[in-house]
């Protein structure tokens, strides 16, 4: 038996001032699914929250509410822990990044994993990355790395669907949350990671939740879905410079560490295209001189964004 799509409520965490641009992406997630959504504001200016509330009021109930998790921008995991602790959406807990566009149905395929033995399923590999395996010697489990070289699955912080009961049992048992990054762990948890050769300097959102879910005997799955396109990293370019946007990122190379050049190029170009389209201007072409590996990805993103804005402009 299938699970009705409206049993799933995806928490979308919005940070800063990029809602006017990334709302096209989320409009596609809504249109291509029967799921419901919650907007979680994380350090968003009041006018951005008002825009979210207006969007929600015109969504025919698909956006169930707008929650201000923090007045000041906090870590992504802090916002997720806030809604996990304060809202009960039933059997499942789900979230998705706002910079994932949906070009076709996707929820039912992930729900199938949850029906067929998975306690959680993740997704969301960025278009800019070739391998999601942590390089040997890398100091941390960054967001873009989903697996270790020995095949262990850390999962993705970008798109995830959990059975709520095992999630709550594990987080309570180990005293962890989506915000847990490593240094904040108990001595018992650190000892376990060291024993299992899973100890890193730092862990991105949800990685430790996924590690300890599996330690407790639960099954984590991962699937890259052809109908989901995850870009990533655009907020730094879409936000105004005074809020840490493009100008600050380009002028201060320390912002970019440890992001690979490919991620920066895809994020920069995608933000440029999205800003142009949302302002009614033509999409700029792929920059001349883009390398042979990057150019096709930039062209794919450009074509997807043109179709995205054309499809959803009248619905926003």
Is residue 166 pLDDT above 60, yes or no? yes
The three-class DSSP label of residue 222 is: strand
Determine the Cα–Cα distance for residues 294 and 292; give it in Å rounded to an integer: 6
Q: Which residue has the higher pLDDT, 240 or 104?
A: 104
Beta bridge partners of 42: 15, 70
* Torsion of the alpha carbons at 96, 101, 104 and 108, rounded to the nearest 10: 0
The pLDDT, as a whole number, for residue 194 is 97
The pLDDT, as a whole number, for residue 260 is 61
Is residue 160 pLDDT above 80, yes or no? yes
Q: For 247-298, write each residue's pLDDT tens digit.
A: 334 444 333 345 566 778 888 899 999 999 999 999 999 998 888 888 999 9
Question: If you search the block for the tokens 């000041």, which residue do you land on?
Answer: 72
Q: What is the SS3 assignment for 98-153?
A: CCEEECCCCHHHHHHHHHCCCCEEEECCECCCCCCECCCCCCEECCCCCECCCCCE
pTM over 0.85: yes
In the chain the first and final C-alpha atoms are separated, in Å, by 34
Number of residues written out for the chain: 316
Query: What integer is the mean pLDDT of 206-228?
Result: 98
Question: In Å, what is the CA distance from 217 to each residue of 120, 286, 305?
Answer: 12, 47, 41
The neighbour count for residue 46, using CB atoms within 10 Å, is 10
Domains and CATH numbers, the chain: 5-222 (3.90.550.10), 234-315 (no CATH)
Question: In Å, what is the CA distance from 264 to each residue of 17, 117, 248, 269?
Answer: 19, 37, 13, 8
For the chain, the average pLDDT equals 91
Peptide bond into 116 cis (omega under 30): no
Helix (H) or strand (E) holding 14: strand 9-15
The pLDDT, as a whole number, for residue 129 is 86
Determine the Cα–Cα distance for residues 138 and 146; give it in Å rounded to an integer: 13
Q: What is the DSSP letter of 70?
A: E
User: Which range, of 68-72, 155-159, 197-201, 287-291, averages the lowest pLDDT?
Assistant: 287-291
Question: If you search the block for the tokens 């967001």, which residue do you land on?
Answer: 143
Query: What integer is the mean pLDDT of 8-30?
Result: 96
Q: For 28-56, write each residue's pLDDT tens digit.
A: 999 999 999 999 999 999 999 999 999 99
The pLDDT, as a whole number, for residue 226 is 97
| 8 A C-beta contact, residue 220 and residue 119 | yes
| 8 A C-beta contact, residue 153 and residue 121 | no
| 8 A C-beta contact, residue 222 and residue 155 | yes
| 8 A C-beta contact, residue 24 and residue 100 | no
- Nearest CA to 235 out of 19, 79, 33, 57 is that of 19
The neighbour count for residue 226, using CB atoms within 10 Å, is 10
The pLDDT, as a whole number, for residue 257 is 42
- Close Cβ partners of 5 (under 8 Å, ≥ 6 residues apart): 33, 34, 35, 107, 108, 111
Is residue 108 pLDDT above 70, yes or no? yes
């Amino acid at each position: 038996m299938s699970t009705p799509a409206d049993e799933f409520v995806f928490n979308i965490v919005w940070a800063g001032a990029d809602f006017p641009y990334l709302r096209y992406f989320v409009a596609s997630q809504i249109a291509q699914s029967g799921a419901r959504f919650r907007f979680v504001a994380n350090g968003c200016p009041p006018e951005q929250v008002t825009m979210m509330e207006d969007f929600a009021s015109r969504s025919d109930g698909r956006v169930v509410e707008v929650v201000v998790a923090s007045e000041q921008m906090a870590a992504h995991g802090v916002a997720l822990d806030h809604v996990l602790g304060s809202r009960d959406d039933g059997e499942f807990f789900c979230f998705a990044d706002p910079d994932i566009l949906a070009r076709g149905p996707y929820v039912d395929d992930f729900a199938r994993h949850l029906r067929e033995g998975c306690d959680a399923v993740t997704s969301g590999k960025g278009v800019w990355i070739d391998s999601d395996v942590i390089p040997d010697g890398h100091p941390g489990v960054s967001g873009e790395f989903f697996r270790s070289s020995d095949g262990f699955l850390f999962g993705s912080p970008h798109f995830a669907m959990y059975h709520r009961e095992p999630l709550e049992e594990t987080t309570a048992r180990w005293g962890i949350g989506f915000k847990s990054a490593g240094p904040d762990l108990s001595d018992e948890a650190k000892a376990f990671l060291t024993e299992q050769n899973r100890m890193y300097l730092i862990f991105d959102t949800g990685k430790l939740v996924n590690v300890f879910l599996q330690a407790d005997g639960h099954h984590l799955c991962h699937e890259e879905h052809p109908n989901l396109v995850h870009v990533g990293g655009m907020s730094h370019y879409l936000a105004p410079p005074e809020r840490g946007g493009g100008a600050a990122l380009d002028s201060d190379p320390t912002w970019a560490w440890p992001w690979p050049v490919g991620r920066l190029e895809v994020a920069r170009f995608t933000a440029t295209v999205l800003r142009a389209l949302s302002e009614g201007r033509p999409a700029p072409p792929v920059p001349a001189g883009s390398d042979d590996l990057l150019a096709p990805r930039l062209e794919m993103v450009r074509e997807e964004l043109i179709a995205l804005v054309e499809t959803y402009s009248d619905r926003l």
